[in-house]
Amino acid sequence: MSPAPAVKDDLSPSAPFAGRGRWLEPLRSGAVFIRFRRDSQIVAQDEVSDYCFLIVTGCVRTAMALEDGRRQIGEFLFPGDIVGYDTVGGHPFSAAAVSDVTLRRFRLAAIEAHAMRDAGFAQAMRHFTTAQLRKAHLRFVLLGRGTAGERIAYFMREMEGHMVSSPTGRSALPMKLMDVADYLGLALETVCRGMTASRRAGGAAPSPDVPLPH
């Protein structure tokens, strides 16, 4: 029905996962495993960290807190994703465990050193950060121009494949509603209402009219 792809026709999540962390594979031998409990902090805000982490199991969130209590979740990360890479000079986002997680820890200096030796590795890094950047751009549209319904619909699609099979069959999301709210720039109650409405309207597909981008 759409005549030309001159503009985006909806706000759906970017392709099935662009920037993952497989490029860290060559450094696997130099990495150690670390575990964090639910809600424990992995990297502090403004901390100058020497490490980055590849997620093995569990879910991690990055966040920036403001003095007055407002908070913005940067992203939710899952097995195969990397946290703490874009950190040169200290990153303003903290990272915390959403669920119990196991991570593989890499020394940033080692990554940098390896990139200086191996051009192919460096190229893989570039593709990774470039993909991150493109995801960020899409997020601008969502946060800048998306309605509450669109943000929630976007989020639900992003989370497809990351639902946890809870015993009671309750909310299958690994994170709390508060986290989702701070991820989407909405009030907790708005997220709750939106998800309820979308559930009533047929489970996965929240609203029929979702005019925001890929």
Partner DNA sequence: CGCGAGGTTGAATGACCTCAAGCGGTGTGG
Partner DNA sequence: CCACACCGCTTGAGGTCATTCAACCTCGCG
Spatial contact of 104 and 31, defined as CB atoms under 8 Å apart: yes
Binding mask 53-82 for a copy of itself (x = CB under 8 A): -----------xxxxx-xxx-x--------
Task: Count CB neighbours of 68 within 10 A.
Answer: 6
Partner touching 31 among DNA, a copy of itself, none, CB below 5 to 8 Å by kind: none
SS3 42: strand
Take residue 59 and report the two structure tokens written for it: 């879910």
Partner touching 193 among DNA, a copy of itself, none, CB below 5 to 8 Å by kind: DNA
CB of residue 178 vs DNA: minimum separation in angstroms? 5
- DSSP class of 98: S
Spatial contact of 142 and 8, defined as CB atoms under 8 Å apart: no
Take residue 133 and report the two structure tokens written for it: 């950047």
Spatial contact of 30 and 131, defined as CB atoms under 8 Å apart: no
Q: Which of 94, 59, 95 lies closest to 80, judged by CA?
A: 59
Please identify which residue in 86, 102, 157, 176 interacts with a copy of itself, judged by CB under 8 A: 86
Q: Give residues with Cβ within 8 angstroms of 13, minimum separation 6.
A: 138, 154, 157, 158, 214
Per CB under 8 A, does 158 bind a copy of itself? no
Say how many Å lie between the first and final Cα of the chain, rounded: 17
CB of 44 or CB of 164, closer to a copy of itself:
44
Partner touching 195 among a copy of itself, DNA, none, CB below 5 to 8 Å by kind: DNA
Stretch that binds DNA, among 103-111, 123-131, 170-178, 202-210 (CB under 7 A): 170-178
**Which residue type sits at 25?**
E
Stretch that binds DNA, among 24-32, 57-65, 116-124, 165-173 (CB under 7 A): 165-173
Site residue total, DNA (CB under 7 A): 21
Rounded CA separation 115/121 (Å)? 6
* Residues within window 181-210 making contact with DNA, judged by CB under 7 A: 185-190, 192-193, 195-196
Tokens 């029929």, located at residue? 208
Q: Which residues bind a copy of itself (CB under 8 A)?
A: 2, 5-11, 44-46, 64-68, 70-72, 74, 86-88, 91-93, 112, 115-117, 119-120, 122-123, 125-127, 129-134, 136-141, 143-145, 182-185, 211-214
Binding residues for DNA (CB under 7 A): 147-149, 167-168, 170-171, 173, 176-178, 185-190, 192-193, 195-196
